[in-house]
């Protein structure tokens, strides 16, 4: 491998000194290297080979039972001044973080191989792209990074002699929760991860670099790093509209990005550009261009079925690493919600134990995942690797709200849209450790991922589109409204196209709406319900605004904003005052 970057060589030397590996391997990203690592992973029990006739190139991995999701409590922003991390982040003094976790890294690679993984977030040569180098003791990490990023020699070539890169260090350690730390040093462009082997904690290009570090860089450099899918929607006239959407973890980004239109929408097509992260910049024409910095999908397995998301299922039939799903007796995979008639009579569950459906236990962990190359997705957009990204017409915010939030509404403008993002709330999911189903404020779906003070982040949003006629229109959606028995009121999935269709027509000034206290809401007849079995009553219910219930939301919003004190942008304060005014005293 050709390595010309002196800083990269120096970093590896320093880390060898600290961690004392038995050997060091620079990963070039070749097919040969992949085969070698896969074989070694199978030999050492890290990966289980699946049925290669049914699932060529597919493997299964099981994490430690105490290491199945992101650990937000153990995730820190380590900047010099506590106030720069803001009230929603865990903060640790960088000196203390380096000293404490540095002590754990001492000799931590003894008896192990140090893999050096250069990677690019974004396509090679794109002005959006950023390079990172992850040093890890885990073959699972190397093989996942190979799917999720542009990895190997290609990244060293992009780096050249003096390019800058994010320094990422990971050690699996003993997986003890006491020592587990996910540390971000934005001022040093550095990430340290210790004692975890779970995706979001260890695939350091993803949430750690592409959101936490990138959001910090984006604020300084005048762009945006967001927890958003990107899709292209072609309508029956052949016109294409690009949309980005921010939903919290396990709230439907992958599903929306790969949506298949209902049969009653002939000529409509959704193409996927990204399912989790969008980097957004203003182009020379003043429009907002979005690019997916990842090269693969690290998607939620449970609930993925032929019915709900056939595109995701098809993407994962080769060259995919499954984590914490069921292995069936013929070497295939299974998870809850894979659909009717798919349940095996017997399998090995995510804990590695014999499992039958009669056991009453879940076979796959609720946060079990697949890592699959984006290029294998049947509906991948031909534009997904465009170095300049794609121009956005709309940005959607949404979450899981059993009550209150209507199916869809449009903001009055950019500042009001930013306010909708800033007041997002959603029920927690299995994507992070902790209670599930509790409503929490999750602005822009970034509460676990913003690398600096969120008050400044809101200010950055406002700043990005000041008086800008080219700014995308902002909408709020909620696929998760429930009746009193807990049944979903909206069919969701493919039928979400009906909402996207209204959004696209709104962007073109061609769809009706009524003005309400919270924004523009479609009248029931503005949503195309051809071929949909939904009662007028239900539709009216999910398109209604309960003023009293919205008034009752205000104290929660105020309480959340109070955390930011004087730093909260005056534009956000003005929006909450305007909302109160519209709702009436």
Active site residues: 251
The DSSP call for residue 42 is H
Instruction: Kindly state whether residue 181 participates in binding ligand SPV, applying the rule CB under 6 A.
Output: no
Report the SS3 class of residue 166: strand
Distance between CA atoms of residues 50 and 32, nearest Å = 20
Q: Residue 332 to residues 59, 144, 317, 346, 461: CA-CA distances in angstroms?
A: 10, 19, 10, 12, 45
Catalogue the E-assigned strands of 399-508.
Answer: 408-410, 425-427, 439-441, 473-477
Distance between CA atoms of residues 338 and 129, nearest Å = 36
Cα of 363 vs its chain's centroid, Å: 24
Distance between CA atoms of residues 83 and 254, nearest Å = 34
In the complex, what is the shortest distance from the CB of residue 369 to ligand GTP, in angstroms, rounded to a whole number?
8
The correct pick among 34, 61, 62, 70 for binding ligand SPV (CB under 6 A) is 70
Binding range to ligand SPV, per CB under 6 A, among 151-159, 199-207, 380-388, 521-529: 199-207
Instruction: Kindly state whether residue 251 participates in binding ligand GTP, applying the rule CB under 6 A.
Output: yes
Distance between CA atoms of residues 515 and 522, nearest Å = 9
Instruction: Name which of Mn ion, ligand GTP, ligand SPV, none residue 260 binds, using a CB cut-off of 5 to 8 Å depending on partner kind.
Output: none
Binding range to ligand GTP, per CB under 6 A, among 249-257, 356-364, 383-391, 552-560: 249-257
Instruction: Name which of ligand GTP, Mn ion, ligand SPV, none residue 200 binds, using a CB cut-off of 5 to 8 Å depending on partner kind.
Output: ligand SPV
Q: At what angle do helices 570-583 and 414-422 cross, to 10 degrees?
A: 90
Residues in a beta bridge with 150: 120
In the complex, what is the shortest distance from the CB of residue 85 to ligand SPV, in angstroms, rounded to a whole number?
19
Nearer to ligand SPV by C-beta: 396 or 431? 431
In the complex, what is the shortest distance from the CB of residue 331 to ligand SPV, in angstroms, rounded to a whole number?
26
Instruction: Kindly state whether residue 488 participates in binding ligand GTP, applying the rule CB under 6 A.
Output: yes
Binding range to ligand GTP, per CB under 6 A, among 212-220, 402-410, 485-493, 505-513: 485-493
| Token representation of residue 144 | 């996942």
Binding range to ligand SPV, per CB under 6 A, among 76-84, 200-208, 401-409, 575-583: 200-208
Contacts of 122 (CB under 8 A, 6+ apart): 128, 129, 130, 150, 279, 291, 293
Contacts of 87 (CB under 8 A, 6+ apart): 453, 454, 563, 564
Instruction: Name which of ligand GTP, Mn ion, ligand SPV, none residue 251 binds, using a CB cut-off of 5 to 8 Å depending on partner kind.
Output: ligand GTP
Binding range to ligand SPV, per CB under 6 A, among 80-88, 155-163, 198-206, 531-539: 198-206
The correct pick among 33, 72, 276, 495 for binding Mn ion (CB under 5 A) is 276
Catalogue the E-assigned strands of 172-254.
Answer: 181-185, 190-194, 224-226, 229-234, 240-246
Distance between CA atoms of residues 192 and 14, nearest Å = 14
Nearer to ligand GTP by C-beta: 122 or 448? 448
Continuous H helices in 296-336: 310-315
The correct pick among 197, 299, 406, 459 for binding ligand GTP (CB under 6 A) is 299
Chain residues binding Mn ion by CB under 5 A are 249, 276
Residues in contact with ligand SPV by the rule CB under 6 A: 70, 199-200, 206-207, 249, 276, 298, 431
Q: Where do contacts with ligand GTP occur on this chain (CB under 6 A)?
A: 247, 249-255, 275-276, 299-300, 302-303, 308, 431, 479-480, 488, 492-493, 496
């Amino acid at each position: 491998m050709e390595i010309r970057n002196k800083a990269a060589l120096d970093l590896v030397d320093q880390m060898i000194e600290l961690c004392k590996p038995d050997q060091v391997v620079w990963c070039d990203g070749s097919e040969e290297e992949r085969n070698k690592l896969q074989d070694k992973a199978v030999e050492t029990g890290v990966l289980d080979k699946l049925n290669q006739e049914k699932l060529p190139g597919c493997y299964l991995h099981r994490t430690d039972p105490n290491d199945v999701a992101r650990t937000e409590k153990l995730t820190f922003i380590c900047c010099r001044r506590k106030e720069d991390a803001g009230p929603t982040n865990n903060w640790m003094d960088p000196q203390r973080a380096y000293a404490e976790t540095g002590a754990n890294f001492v000799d931590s690679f003894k008896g192990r191989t140090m893999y050096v993984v250069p990677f690019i977030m974004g396509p090679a040569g794109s002005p959006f792209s950023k390079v990172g180098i992850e040093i890890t003791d885990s073959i699972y990490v190397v093989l996942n990074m190979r799917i999720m990023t542009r990895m190997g020699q290609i990244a060293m070539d992009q780096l050249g002699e003096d390019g800058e890169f994010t320094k990422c260090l990971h050690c699996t350690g003993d997986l003890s929760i006491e020592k587990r730390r996910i540390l971000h040093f934005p001022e040093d462009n550095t990430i340290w991860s210790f004692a975890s082997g779970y995706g979001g904690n260890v695939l350091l290009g993803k949430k750690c670099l592409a959101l936490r570090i990138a959001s910090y860089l984006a604020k300084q450099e005048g762009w945006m790093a967001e927890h958003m899918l990107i899709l292209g929607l072609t309508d029956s006239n052949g016109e294409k509209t690009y949309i980005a959407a921010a939903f919290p973890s396990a709230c439907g980004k992958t599903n929306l990005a790969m949506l298949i239109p209902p049969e009653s929408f002939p000529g409509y097509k959704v193409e996927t550009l990204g399912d989790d992260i969008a980097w957004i910049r203003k182009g020379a024409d003043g429009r907002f261009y979005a690019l997916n910095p990842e090269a693969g999908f690290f998607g939620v397995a449970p609930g993925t079925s032929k019915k709900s998301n056939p595109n995701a299922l098809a993407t994962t039939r080769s060259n995919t690493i499954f984590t914490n799903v069921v292995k069936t007796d013929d070497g295939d995979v299974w998870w809850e919600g894979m659909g009717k008639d798919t349940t095996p009579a017997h399998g090995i569950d995510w804990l590695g134990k014999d499992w039958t459906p009669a056991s009453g236990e879940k076979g796959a962990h609720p946060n079990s995942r697949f890592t699959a190359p984006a290029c294998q997705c049947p509906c991948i957009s031909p534009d997904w690797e465009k170095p300049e990204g794609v121009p956005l017409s709309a940005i959607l915010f949404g979450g899981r709200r059993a009550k209150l939030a209507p199916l869809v509404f449009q903001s009055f403008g950019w500042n009001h849209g930013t306010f909708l993002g800033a007041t997002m709330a959603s029920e927690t999911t299995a994507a992070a450790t902790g209670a599930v189903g509790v409503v929490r404020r999750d602005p822009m779906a970034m509460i676990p991922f913003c690398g600096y003070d969120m008050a400044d982040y809101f200010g950055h949003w406002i700043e990005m589109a000041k008086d800008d006629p080219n700014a995308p229109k902002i909408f709020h959606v909620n696929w998760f409204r429930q009746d009193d028995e807990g049944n979903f009121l909206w069919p969701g999935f493919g039928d979400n196209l009906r909402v996207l269709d209204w959004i696209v027509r709104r962007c073109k000034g061609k769809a009706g709406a009524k003005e309400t206290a919270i924004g523009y809401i479609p009248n029931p007849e503005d949503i195309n319900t051809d071929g949909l079995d939904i009662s007028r009553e239900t539709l009216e219910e999910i398109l209604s605004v309960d003023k009293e219930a919205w008034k009752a939301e205000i104290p929660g919003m105020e309480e959340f904003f109070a955390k930011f004190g004087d730093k909260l942008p005056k534009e956000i304060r003005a929006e909450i005052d305007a909302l109160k005014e519209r709702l009436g005293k």
